[in-house]
Amino acid sequence: MRREPLLMIPGPTEVSTQALLAMAKPVVSHRDEDFSAFFKQLTEKAKQVFQTQNDLFILAASGTGGVEAAVANLTRKGDKVVVPVFGTFSDRVAEAVKRYGGEVIRIEIPLGEGPTASLIEKTLEKHPDTKVVYIVYNETSTGVTVRELPQIAKIAHKFDAVVVADAISILGGDELPVDPWEIDVCVTGAQKCLATPPGIALVSVSDRAWRLIEREGLSTFYFDLSRYKKFFDERGQTPFTPAIPLLFALDIALTEILEEGLENRIRRHRLCAQAIYSAVEAWGMTPFAKEPFRSNTVIAVKYPPNFDDAKFRGLLKRKYRIAVAGGIGITKGMVFRIGCMGNIGPQDVVLTIAAMEAVLYEIGYLKEVGKGLAAAVRKLASL
């Protein structure tokens, strides 16, 4: 059996054959005017998916590199920065801000929940001199989505703070209209809901954010966004060599996204996620995230008592060729996580549910097979 496992993990995700093949095109010069034309239309396409008219940069880096770019450009020594921490990735943001000299105002949030607008408002009332509010819009480690992100942005702006959304595991899979929601810096990675192979990060930057970025004291050179802006505006290029084959793949993936339509795409993600949540509950299991924070792109499920995760996920991968993730960082050993991202559709959902039921039966957790699939199928009926 030579089949690569179906990626039902929270990234990297399944990439279309068209996007994969695009990478096999000959490499071109990134200082060529043909490249500039390609890169400008690629950036425009990405802006459509971000729903923004802000600047947008495509970096040769993984998603965390995109977060580093945001942090390094926005933070100066002693800046007050609010970071609600509710999982591994928000904790990483807090750590990165600290390393760049920011004074982190951590808001500790119970696991399985996310920050609310009122919580951010209270924090900003105590710290009205806050420069930046970082929101991990989708906490990949816990399967939590911050449902009040647009309200949080409005509150932050009332206090004249810049809002950064780490949208790595969600942009392209759930609502995130960057301009209407007033997100100043939005970061994503290619390898999640954009269904592009890993290795590039996308970062949008508003005028309000530029005011913080353009202060003295920038330490990064590689992620210097002002330099990216200069090169893009003057030549439609990047200051350093871009990851060209990944841009070819991204171009195809963005075209596929726009052809499907953002609204359809978000609806597909939501219904596929609901189908998975329904199956999980039919099996007598409990999602890790509490309502209303349940993510439509990462479904985290609490391990039942005495549950052998290695056996469960191992069998699922070896016998049925389906990869799902365990916990990460703070949720390690507490959950398994199903990615519902990018190109995942009804076929992948029924396959995953069917195979999971088979494995849950084989390891003795389920006494009968079919209930999860029935629950999932009822949800998928409306797609």
Who's near 291: CB < 8 A, 6+ residues apart?
A: none
* Helices and strands: H and E segment counts in the chain: 13, 14
- Using CB under 8 A as the binding rule, whether residue 101 contacts its own copies is answered as yes
Window of 36-44, 130-138, 236-244, 281-289 that interacts with its own copies by CB under 8 A:
236-244
Site membership for its own copies, residue 189 (CB under 8 A): yes
Using CB under 8 A as the binding rule, whether residue 62 contacts its own copies is answered as: yes
Chosen residue from 43, 49, 52, 63 binding its own copies by CB under 8 A: 63
Query: Do 179 and 53 form a contact (C-beta atoms < 8 A)?
Result: yes
Cis ω for the linkage preceding 150 (within 30 of 0): no
What x/- string results for residues 109 through 148 when contact with its own copies is judged by CB under 8 A?
A: ----------------------------------------
Pick out residues in 265-304 that bind its own copies (CB under 8 A): none
244 vs 353 by CB, closer to its own copies: 244
Select 135 or 324, whichever has its Cβ closest to its own copies: 324
Separation CA 277–CA 299 (nearest Å): 7
Rule CB under 8 A: is residue 244 a binding residue for its own copies? yes
Window 68-87: residues binding its own copies (CB under 8 A): 68, 71-72
- Is 199 exposed, middle or buried (CB count within 10 Å of its CB: 0-12, 13-18, 19+)? buried
The residue within the footprint of its own copies, chosen from 133, 149, 161, 218 (CB under 8 A), is 218
Nearer to its own copies, 88 or 130 (CB): 88
Span of 47-55, 58-66, 205-213, 299-307 interacting with its own copies by CB under 8 A: 58-66
Region binding its own copies by CB under 8 A among candidate stretches 156-164, 175-183, 241-249, 299-307: 241-249
- Written as six digits, the tokens of 261 are 């339509």
Give CA angle at 242 (238, 248), nearest 5°.
115
> Which candidate, 298, 330, 335, places its Cα nearest to that of 88?
330
| Polymer length in residues for the chain | 383
- Cβ proximity to its own copies: between 153 and 247 the closer is 247
DSSP state of 378: H
Q: Name the helix (H) or strand (E) containing 299.
A: strand 298-302
Interaction between residue 95 and its own copies (CB under 8 A):
yes
Distance CA 65, CA 15 (A): 21
332 near its own copies, judged by CB under 8 A: no
**What is the token pair recorded at 129?**
């001199």
Q: Closest Cα to residue 325, out of 302, 303, 300?
A: 300
Count of Cβ atoms closer than 10 Å to residue 1 Cβ: 5
Binding of its own copies by 220 (CB under 8 A): yes
Task: Return the number of the residue (123 or 169) whose C-beta is nearest its own copies.
Answer: 169
The torsion of the CA quartet 213, 217, 218, 221, rounded to 10 degrees, works out to: 150
Region from 50-58, 217-225, 259-267, 293-301 binding its own copies, contact rule CB under 8 A: 217-225
Near its own copies by CB under 8 A, which window of 48-56, 89-97, 251-259, 289-297? 89-97
Q: Is 24 in the site for its own copies (CB under 8 A)?
A: yes
Cβ neighbours of residue 117 closer than 8 Å, sequence gap 6 or more? 148, 151, 152, 155
Query: Applying CB under 8 A, which part among 65-73, 103-111, 173-181, 256-264 lies near its own copies?
Result: 65-73
The DSSP annotation for 255-276 comes to HHHHHH-HHHHHHHHHHHHHHH
Tokens of 32: 């060529």
Q: Applying CB under 8 A, does 355 fall inside the site for its own copies?
A: no
Q: How many residues bind its own copies (CB under 8 A)?
A: 62
Segments in the chain forming alpha helices (H): 17-22, 33-50, 63-74, 88-99, 117-126, 149-158, 207-213, 225-235, 244-260, 262-282, 309-320, 346-362, 371-380
For its own copies, the binding residue among 157, 226, 245, 267 (CB under 8 A) is 245
Binding residues for its own copies, per CB under 8 A? Answer: 4-5, 7, 9, 11-15, 17, 20-21, 23-32, 60-65, 67-68, 71-72, 92, 95-96, 99-101, 189, 191, 197-200, 218-223, 239-246, 249, 317, 323, 325
